Copies of this chain bind each other. A is one copy, B any other.
């Protein structure tokens, strides 16, 4: 039974047209469809129809994120597992959103909406699958390879971690513990896909989005992203640096609605037999901002 990856996120944005401009020109995604107040976008290196949905709304934030499972059987399997865990699921019917089939929606212990799905049109990449070049002809902006992960806040990090590791059987790469070892205040989890994380939680208000992250190739692309954001006056919150947690290179910035984005490169590979790395809360700034070693106020407070 296989959860493959975080496959999509649906963000609430205040002004759809302005957001489309940002996500296409600055981030460099491609609009693949529009319908009923939503825009559907994908990164150039993704096979599925879309990975990002923008939904015009009164307040920014995350409508939901979704994990793609390997088969319809997996969908049923995890539906049962989730209910056994004690969460309620409901079926989202085919056609609710463009190019998607049926999905299962669940409210997480942290109040976030998550979907599991298998059925989505696989429209492929411009490079094709026959004697492909490594890059498409044209890329724009930051030009990430893919949607990489979302980081959310919630009150009960321990329980939501149990949900993912027990009901969804995914893996915890790192955790942040209070000094007395009693409470978990940070949790980074990944499906069996080698990634450092697909989904992460930091203690904070329930049902909030901290950031949605896009994968770029190299530390040079992080610099290029920072230069481009500065060039076009996109507010950068965290300038290029390394996380000790996940070991990745990173930059944080905001979309026009105030949703935080990350451009992210590097990071280690993970396997099911790798131990969970533990951080103690006193080292959290070191873990998140390895070079600065001090927390950034807005990084804790600005949530959508």
What residues make up the interface of A, taking CB atoms closer than 8 Å to B? 2, 4-5, 45, 47, 68, 70, 122, 124, 129-135, 137, 145-146, 192-195, 215, 217-220, 223, 226-227, 229-231, 236, 239-242, 244, 247, 249, 251, 266, 268-269, 271-280, 283, 286-287, 289-293
Name the B residues within 8 Å of A230 (CB-CB).
133, 286, 290-291, 293
CB–CB B47/A274 < 8 A: yes
CB–CB A247/B291 < 8 A: no
Known: A4-B273, A227-B290. Is A45-B268 also a contact (CB below 8 A)? yes
Supply 19 further A-B pairs (C-beta < 8 A) apart from A130-B279, A133-B230, A236-B291: A122-B275, A129-B277, A131-B279, A133-B244, A134-B242, A134-B290, A193-B271, A194-B194, A219-B223, A220-B220, A223-B242, A223-B249, A226-B242, A226-B290, A229-B291, A230-B290, A236-B292, A239-B241, A239-B291
- In the complex, A277 Cα to B287 Cα: how many Å? 38
Name the B residues within 8 Å of A241 (CB-CB).
226, 239-240
Copies in the complex: 4
CB–CB B131/A280 < 8 A: yes
A134 CB contact (under 8 Å) in B131, B145, B220, B244: B244
CB–CB B223/A273 < 8 A: no
A219 CB contact (under 8 Å) in B124, B135, B218, B286: B218
Name the B residues within 8 Å of A283 (CB-CB).
131
Q: Which of A130, A192, A230 has the most CB of B within 10 A?
A: A230
CB distance from A62 to the nearest CB of B (A): 22
Q: List 25 A-B contacts (CB under 8 A).
A: A2-B272, A4-B271, A4-B272, A47-B275, A68-B273, A122-B275, A124-B275, A129-B276, A130-B277, A131-B278, A133-B231, A134-B290, A135-B231, A194-B195, A195-B269, A217-B266, A218-B220, A226-B291, A227-B290, A227-B291, A230-B286, A239-B239, A239-B241, A239-B289, A239-B291
